[in-house]
Amino acid sequence: MIYTLEKDGDGFEQHYYDLFIKNNFPNYEKFWQNFIVPLTNRPTDIHFKKNKELDLIGKTANDICIAQLHYSILRHMARAYDLARLPVVELNVVTEATGHISGALDIAFELLERFANPSKYDPWLEQKEKGSGRVGGQEARRAWQQLRSYPLQDIKNYRNHLVHGRMTPSIRGSETYLPKIGFEQKYFDWRLITDPTKIGYSAKDFDSAHEILRSAWINSIKYLNVQWKKNLLV
């Protein structure tokens, strides 16, 4: 029997299938069909099998961990998708949405590394456990990023600045304009924008909050879809 997200996913997956999974992240469904569905009790229910049942099909707790990470990525990207489509996007919306996108990327790095090295990382451990030598999710994320020159780090840096740094200056017009991703450090000094005697900003360094959020989401979902095909659908 062939299961599909449109008919057999949970309510959340069904809702977002036509909105963006089908066209922007089709490899989510392919991996779900190949890897996730066998871990569940379908057609009885959608919940995961117990350990004894997993043993019978040659699966382990690591597979359940990967399945949970997979679904968590979708939830983060879906929230960012909704925020990007609000009629008015202000700085606080960009802050929340880039947080979700950054979270999805972190989880993706962990998932990809765990899938590539299933016996290396403890499925229920968040970080290295002192004294035991066991490593977990944080180590998996770092390993994937370090070996691949920190993919999409510009988006993560932008999010980190919005959350942990001073507020980003904005220009108000028909929409809110913010420094583009990668240009935020140029405008740490707000006077470059606010001092009426000497405007120190370049318009090409700014874009609408809508467009900044849209481009971050698109670039991230493209990365996920490509990496799923390259590393998980083998």
Q: What is the pLDDT of residue 53?
A: 97
Whole-angstrom Cα Rg for the chain: 20
Distance CA(137)–CA(125), nearest Å, equals: 6
CA 128/CA 139 separation, integer angstroms: 7
The token duo for 141 is 């994320």
- Whether the per-residue pLDDT at 127 is higher than 90: the answer is yes
Rounded Cα distance, 230 and 234, in Å = 7
Q: What is the pLDDT of residues 174-222, one digit of tens each?
A: 899 999 999 999 999 998 888 767 667 888 999 999 999 999 999 999 9
Q: Identify the band that residue 122 occupies on the pLDDT scale cut at 50, 70 and 90.
A: very high
Q: Where are the domains of the chain?
A: 5-153+210-232
Single pTM value for the model: 0.95
What value does the mean pLDDT take over residues 11-37?
98
How far is it, in rounded angstroms, from Cα 77 to Cα 162?
18
16, 78 contact by CB (below 8 A):
yes
Longest Cα separation, the chain: 74
